[in-house]
Chains A and B, each alone.
Chain A
Amino acid sequence: MELYFLIVLFLVMMTALGLGFPVAFALPGSAILTIGLAAGTGLLLFGDVSAFFAQDGPVEWLSAGVMNFRAIYYDFERDTLIAIPLFIFMGIMLQRSRIAEDLLMTMAGLFGPVPGGLGISVVFVGALLAATTGIVGATVVAMGLISLPSMMRNKYSPSLASGTICAAGTLGQIIPPSIVLIILADQLGSASDQASATRQSLYKTATGEFTMPSALDVTSTSAGDMFLGAFLPGIVLVLVYFVYILVTALVRPSMAPAVPNPLGFTKKFLFKVLVSLVPPLVLIFLVLGSIIMGIATVNQAGAIGAVGATIMAGYKLYEDKKGALFPAVLALISIAAILLLINFFDLNVKNLEVTQNHVAVLLGVVASVFLVIAIAWSTWRTFIIDDTLKEVMIETSKTTSMVFIILLGAAMLTAAFRGFGGEEYVKDFLQSLPGGFWSQFIVVMAVIFVLGFFLDFIEIAVVVVPIVAPILLADPSANITAVWLGVMIGVNIQTSFLTPPFGFALFYLRGVASKAIRTIDIYRGVVPFIILQLIALVIVGTFPPLVNYLPNRFYLSSFNAPPPMNPRLQACVESYLAEVIESEEKSIDSSIKKLDSIDFTILPNKVGEKILEAQDAAYSVFDSLEAVENTKKLVKDATLAYSSIHGEVRIIQRDIRKIEKNIKRLKREVQITDNQVTKDHIEEEIKEAKTRIDVLNSLIPEEWDKIASEYQDKLKALSKVERRYRGAMDDSYSGIKEAIQVISSGSGFTSFKGSFDSLKKDLKNFDLEEKQEAIKAVSKQLSSVAGSSGVKSLLNKARKEFKKQDSDKAFNFLKDAELLLDEEIAWRKIATRENLPILKSFLNETASNIGLRGQERLPAFLVPRISRCRSVHQDISLNF
């Protein structure tokens, strides 16, 4: 029954959007209208406002929508969205101060003489501009106004010119720092949380275990990840466009003639290049670089971009006046001074007590003050000249509001959609498609492609992604990453915007292009770009590492990278280990053998035993690895039989669960109704459902239980041997590490010896109370000294005797402690000389094989390999 109102919702929304009421209010308005209609109809027909809702009622869903509104900004979890106004500010400032235009003109002058050079410049600048505003229409219009006339003047063919502009305007959508990527990241982030919950419950029903191993979890995303993921595909697209224009210019020079530089390559022109080309590029690279290198968050990079654009506008607007460059130069000098200071001193104000760098910090403050003055000065200039700042602020406010109110509106729409059970319908529909994940994926992409004819990127990101992304991400058979899904959606929408006759970009260009350009020229012009886009879509689709590699790479080499022992890295780390342990067996073996040359006579028993245990564990690594490999083979053999019926059975079981859920609902309904006729009717329905379950159950092959339990047993056996294998490696490495710590704590003992001696002297003058305190204070020193527990316990005993007022016994214990202390110091001296180097070389030699898991960080040489390994989507469906 909810389905009717789902259709009503869709129709109302389509009408509201189609008639052209602002999207931001059409979305929530039609949701509210439909919820109201459903409530009214329910009240009228059944006397129950909730009758037409899948669960809960109209009031709950409206409240949920309102709560969703607030959730957009209420907590720090979604702070990445703050980057959006910052990037918008930057983009509009670049535009309003005509830096962008200047950039285009200079680039055209520079590359114009190359065949197709003007077209290449347009692609470059257009992509840059679109990235910061994120609105296809705005970019295409701006580019159409700036560059189309100059391309036509220089006798570019109308179709190539218009195609280039449309393509460049849409390309920016997936080039960082595009704001739609930030929105996608935000939406995909919550989608992956949902998908993760789905997988967890799937895991629970499949295995009966409550916690799912984190290796099987959904890979989420962040704005930084999205930027990194879109980076390579974006660059590839830009290059492909370049090549296309270049080749066209070479093959048919009349379509894209070389444009002579009007200024000529004089010194003056070169200076102009320096001033108008370098700063914007430096700014873009600074912004992107700081995000990509993990130095700054996306928001901070946005602020850097906005301020940088303001400084540039500060001199651009003052062009040809005296002292135009002054604030910019002041800013550069301050920044240089700050960088120097940071390089040579620790300016951390919280550690000021420790570092005592007062002068350096003061200089840092002075430099920052000058930087702030430079920024304020530039801002002042933008304020007084042509009202630039005011215009920029107005445009920023308007654009930001437009973006966010859509986000807000979509939150209500999603609530209504859920209220009418839309999610279940979409899920059922997608899962009923034959062909598994890929057919679902293609259908979703096709729907998005069609929607791209009517809706802008932001609307699709906030309306469609929350509905379909959780379903696609949860599917364990494809196990796609959220970043990859985001980039695929991005490239897809971008292609859609270019596609005649509905493509968005085409409309906007048509609006601003002169009548001399025929519509058919525009259509003809974009066709090659569409083909290039489709090729790119196929490439990105078939090679996920193109997207996943960079995020992984930067994640694994960042400050907060997980250690090699992290379960999420295990599959990749172990495939490397298996290889390396097998191929370097001999050298590893000899490393272990070298431990034989340790002189155990000089070591205390405990330490010696520890080393021997570690050595045994190290030897056992080879055997346990073999056991793992053998068991893996067994599992693989069993997989064949299992996987052939697994998918089929899981689908049947899913259907059964759905019917069971329905039965539960019907049973509840029976309890509420008083009407005997409806009661009988529902009872009948329940009976039918039960027979359907029986039929479904009979469809499950008889041997399923046996095969499944056999398979699960093999998996259990595998995880058992794997645990042994990992344990062997960990024990050997950590055992030796501990031994080294114990041996090399000699200096700790020697320094303690000093305190101990003075304690001995002082004790005579203290009363009992003070004696206890003094001992307590001294033994605290031992807490950081490895292997000192013996001495410590003797000291403790002495203290207790003092407490019992038995001074004789106490002094005996102290004497014992002194003897032990001397002993500890003595053997450590020899062992440090004789044994320590051997142990240390063992750690060094095994650090990249059996000791890898013991490392705190993934070694740099492994990062590329592990990143590559993690970038491939792996089918993990058999775990569910």
Chain B
Amino acid sequence: MKANPGMDLLHYIALVSAFLGAAFVVNNFLTYIFDLPGLLGTLAFLGLTFLQSEVQEYTGVAVVLGLIQSVSFILAVFLPFLILRRQSGSRDEVFLNNCSEIIVSAAFWSVMLIGIVDAAISFVRIEGLLPVIVGEDLALSLGKPVFRGTYVHIPLLLLGTLIACYRRGIDFIWLALLIVFGELLIVITRFIFSYEQAFMGDLVRFWYAGLFLFSSAYTLVHDGHVRVDVIYANFSDKVQAYTNIYGSFLLGIPLCWVVIIRGCWSETSPFNLALLNFEVTQQGFGMYVKYLMSGFLIVFALSMLFQFSSYIIRYMNNLEGIKKDATIG
């Protein structure tokens, strides 16, 4: 099959976009949690200070790790080259789609587990039973957002990611049922036993935000995002494919990038601020998961970035399939 340079370029950009997004997000957390230089810090260290004005002092280990971080960005740019060369003409949409599914699945399992565990802790804590069960010291620590985040949420997050490696797919749809049951819990305890606590509302909100943000990628693939299809429906397959390819490029991918970059550019960007400081609600005895809800948008942006890239490649395949049909016919 003949190579198509224009399409290849788009293919390349789609891949780079997805990889860079992943590299950016992963490095973002590494940089701020472990106080590493990151790409910009490393560049500044090497004397390229055009993007970062102040040069920080780093230890030797940090500099090495910073170099590795920088390499990951370089890889994100060069790996797609190799992929394109190796595939030479055929385009693989499945890999990117799988990445998106794993991201969403990991987010779902984490959110489900953290929701249940944190709600249980909050409940026990309000009723004053926490010291009885885990002892005074641990109870006191569990009342601190940083401790609960580090020793309860993060292990669960890792567990969720582990489960996701074995179970990518559409488990996230269970959030729909979970929010029904979560709200039902409120109904039962409130109307029968006049018992209502902040953590119950927090739990439902936590899951509902997850539901619509995590299912966006799946909805895109299955054409669930509504279109104004007055004209679209009358387009030929070819024009529809072009619409989706260029639409994803010009409208979809920039959106994901804006979310990631505006949310995580620096330590004081809104999502980083919430995540790194384990932000919680001001309502006293609620759940301690508010900061994670900032992360939902990162999950949304990243999963959509991969999904859009996959989507673009899918419609390129369609286009090329149509052309092939035409030449054969």
Enumerate chain A interface residues (CB-CB to B < 8 A): 16-26, 28-30, 32-33, 36, 59, 62-63, 65-67, 69-70, 73-74, 76, 79, 81-82, 85-86, 89, 135, 137, 295-296, 299-300, 302-304, 306-307, 310, 338, 341-342, 347-351, 361, 364, 368, 371-372, 375, 379, 389-390, 392-394, 396-406, 409, 412, 454-456, 502, 507
CB pair A20 B240 closer than 8 Å: yes
Most buried by A among B190, B254, B263: B254
Q: State A29–B270 Cα separation when bound (angstroms).
A: 21
Q: In the complex, are the beta carbons of A82 and B205 less than 8 A apart?
A: yes
Type the 1/0 row for B282-296, where 1 means its CB is closer than 8 Å to any CB of A.
010000001001101
Question: Are A396 and B183 in contact, with the CB atoms below 8 A?
Answer: no
Q: Which of A350, A372, A379 contacts B177 (CB 8 A)?
A: A379
Chain B residue contacts of A59, Cβ below 8 A? 262
Bitwise, B216-240 to A at CB < 8 A (1) or not (0) is 1011101011111111110100001
Residue of A17, A65, A81, A361 touching B258 (CB-CB under 8 A): A65
Write 20 A-B pairs (CB below 8 A) sorted by A numbering. A20-B227, A23-B228, A28-B255, A29-B252, A32-B254, A63-B262, A65-B262, A73-B293, A76-B283, A82-B205, A86-B179, A299-B186, A303-B180, A307-B180, A342-B192, A349-B194, A392-B176, A393-B176, A398-B224, A401-B224
Which 4 residue pairs of A and B lie closest in terms of their CB atoms, listed nearest first?
Answer: A29-B251, A20-B232, A303-B183, A21-B247
Chain B 103-129, CB within 8 Å of chain A: the 1/0 string?
A: 000000000000000000000000000
Once the chains are docked, how many angstroms separate the CA of A392 from the CA of B174?
A: 10
- Say whether B187 faces chain A, with CB atoms less than 8 Å apart: yes
Bound-state CA distance A24–B294 (Å) is 20
Asked whether A23 lies within 8 Å of B226 as measured between CB atoms, the reply is: yes
Asked if residues B208 and A349 are in contact (CB atoms below 8 Å), the reply is: no
Q: Answer whether residue B158 sits at the interface, using C-beta atoms and an 8 A cutoff.
A: no
Contact B251 A397 (CB under 8 A): no
Q: How far is the CB of A416 from chain B (nearest CB, A)?
A: 11
Residues of A within 8 A of B150 (CB): none
Q: How far is the CA of A396 from the CA of B224 in the complex (A)?
A: 11
B184 part of interface (Cβ distance < 8 Å): yes
**Does B215 lie at the interface of the complex (its beta carbon under 8 Å from any beta carbon of A)?**
yes
The B174-210 residues at the A interface (CB cut-off 8 A) are 174-177, 179-180, 183-184, 186-188, 190-195, 201, 204-205, 208-209
Any A CB within 8 A of the CB of B250: yes
CA distance A85 to B187 in the complex (A): 16
Contact yes or no, A74 B226, CB < 8 A: no
Alpha-carbon distance between A65 and B256 when the two chains are bound, in angstroms: 12
Residues 242-256 of chain B, each 1 if its beta carbon lies under 8 Å from chain A, else 0:
011001101110110
Given contacts A18-B231, A62-B258, contact A398 B215 (CB under 8 A): yes
Find the residue from B211, B243, B263 having the highest chain A CB count within 10 A: B211
CB of B321 to closest CB in A, whole Å: 20
In the complex, what distance in Å separates the CA atom of A375 from the CA atom of B183?
A: 14
User: What residues of chain B lie closer than 8 Å to A69, measured between beta carbons?
Assistant: 259, 297
Contact assessment for B270 and A70 in the assembled complex, using a CB-CB cutoff below 8 Å:
yes
Which of A66, A299, A350 lies at the interface centre, i.e. has the most chain B CB atoms within 10 A of its CB?
A66
User: Which B residue sits closest to A20, measured CB to CB?
Assistant: B232
Known A338-B192, A397-B219, A404-B212: A82·B177 in contact at CB below 8 Å: no
Tell me whether A361 and B193 are in contact (CB under 8 A).
Answer: yes
Set B172, B229, B251, B296: member contacting A26, Cβ < 8 A: B251
Output the least CB separation between A206 and chain B (Å): 37
Do A349 and B175 touch across chains, with their CB atoms under 8 A apart?
no
* Cα distance A364–B193 in the bound complex, in angstroms: 8
Known contacts A26-B247, A29-B250, A300-B183; A401 and B226 CB within 8 A of each other: no
How far apart are the CA atoms of A22 and B263 in the complex, in Å?
24
> Residues 134-148 of chain B: 1 if any A CB is under 8 Å from the residue's CB, otherwise 0?
000000000000000
Cross-interface CB contact of B192 among A25, A347, A507, cutoff 8 Å = A347
Task: For A397, give its contact among B176, B191, B193 (CB under 8 Å).
Answer: B176
Centre residue among B187, B233, B297 by max chain A CB count within 10 A: B187
When C-beta atoms are compared, the residue in chain B nearest to A372 turns out to be: B188
Interface centre among A82, A306, A392 (most CB of B within 10 A): A82
When the two chains form their complex, are residues B175 and A397 in contact, meaning their CB atoms are under 8 A apart? yes
- What CA separation (Å) do A67 and B274 show in the bound complex? 12
Q: Which residue of B lies closest to A351 (CB)?
A: B194
B window 150-180: CB within 8 A of A = 170, 172-177, 179-180
Across the interface, name the chain B residue whose C-beta is closest to A349.
B193
**A392 CA to B243 CA, complexed, in Å:** 30
A20-B233 Cα distance, complex, nearest whole Å: 8
How far, in whole Å, are A20 and B186 apart by their CA atoms in the complex?
41
Q: Are A394 and B205 in contact (CB under 8 A)?
A: no
B247 touching A29, Cβ below 8 Å? yes
B210's nearest neighbour on chain A, judged by CB, is A73
User: CB within 8 A of B216: which of A79, A81, A295, A401?
Assistant: A401
Q: Do residues A82 and B204 form an inter-chain contact, with CB atoms below 8 A? A: yes
Cβ contacts under 8 Å, B188 to chain A:
368, 371-372
Which B residues are CB-close (under 8 A) to A394?
170, 173
A507–B231 Cα distance when bound, in Å, is 11
State in angstroms the CA–CA spacing of A67 and B270 once bound together: 8
Question: Given B180, B190, B225, B250, which contacts A405 in the complex, CB threshold below 8 Å?
Answer: B225
For A85, the chain B residues whose CB sits under 8 A away are: 176, 179, 208, 211-212
For A508, give the chain B residue with the smallest CB separation: B229
Chain B contacts of A33 at CB under 8 A?
A: 250-251, 254
Contact A18:B228 (CB < 8 A) given known A62-B262, A66-B258, A70-B297: yes
Whether B186 and A73, one on each chain, are in contact in the complex, defined by CB atoms closer than 8 angstroms, is: no
Give 15 A-B pairs besides A24-B216, A390-B173, A409-B255 with Cβ atoms closer than 8 angstroms.
Answer: A20-B243, A29-B255, A32-B251, A70-B270, A81-B208, A135-B226, A137-B226, A310-B180, A350-B194, A364-B192, A393-B176, A393-B177, A397-B212, A398-B222, A400-B176
Asked if A21 contacts B180 (CB within 8 A), the reply is no
Complex contacts, A25 vs chain B, CB 8 Å: 225, 247-248, 251-252, 255
Provided the pairs A19-B243, A76-B205, A348-B193 are in contact, do residues A82 and B230 lie with their beta carbons within 8 angstroms? no
**Contact of B183 with A302 in the complex, beta carbons under 8 Å:** yes
Q: Which residues of A contact B225 (CB under 8 A)?
A: 22-25, 401-402, 405
- Bound Cα distance from A132 to B271, whole angstroms: 34
Indicate if the CB atoms of A66 and B262 lie closer than 8 Å: yes
Closest Cβ–Cβ distance, residue B264 to chain A (whole Å): 10
Q: How far is the CA of A341 from the CA of B183 in the complex (A)?
A: 22
**CA–CA, A26 to B259, complex, Å?**
15
Does B230 contact A507, Cβ atoms closer than 8 Å? yes
Shortest CB-to-CB span from A343 to chain B, Å, is 12
Flag if A400 contacts B215 (CB, 8 Å).
Answer: yes
B311: min CB distance to chain A, Å: 10
Cα A26 to Cα B229 in complex, Å, equals 13
* B228 contact set on A, CB distance < 8 A: 17-18, 20, 23, 454-455
Residue among B177, B195, B263 making CB contact with A349, cutoff 8 Å: B195
Verify A406–B216 contact, CB threshold 8 A: no
User: How many angstroms from the CA of A585 to the CA of B100 in the assembled complex?
Assistant: 78
Interface centre among B172, B188, B244, B281 (most CB of A within 10 A): B188
Contacts of B212 in A (CB 8 A): 85, 397, 400-401, 403-405
What are the residues of chain A within 8 A of B259 when measuring CB–CB? 66, 69
Name the B residues within 8 Å of A507 (CB-CB).
230
A20–B247 alpha-carbon span in the complex (Å): 9
| Chain B residues, Cβ within 8 Å of A73 | 205, 208-209, 293, 296
Instruction: Give CA–CA (A296, B205) in the complex, Å.
Output: 17
Measured between beta carbons, the chain A residues less than 8 angstroms from B180 are 86, 89, 303, 306-307, 310
- Max chain B CB contacts within 10 Å: which of A32, A73, A368, A392? A73
B215 touches A21 (CB 8 A): no
Residue of B nearest to A454 (CB): B228
Complex: A133 Cα to B230 Cα, angstroms: 21
Give the distance to chain A from B116, nearest Cβ to Cβ, in Å. 16
Our pick among A21, A28, A341, A399 for the contact of B227 (Cβ within 8 Å) is A21
Q: Among A21, A36, A397, A412, point to the contact of B243 (Cβ < 8 A).
A: A21
**CB of A652, distance to nearest CB on chain B (Å):** 42
Query: Cβ of A392: which chain B residues have Cβ within 8 Å of it?
Result: 176
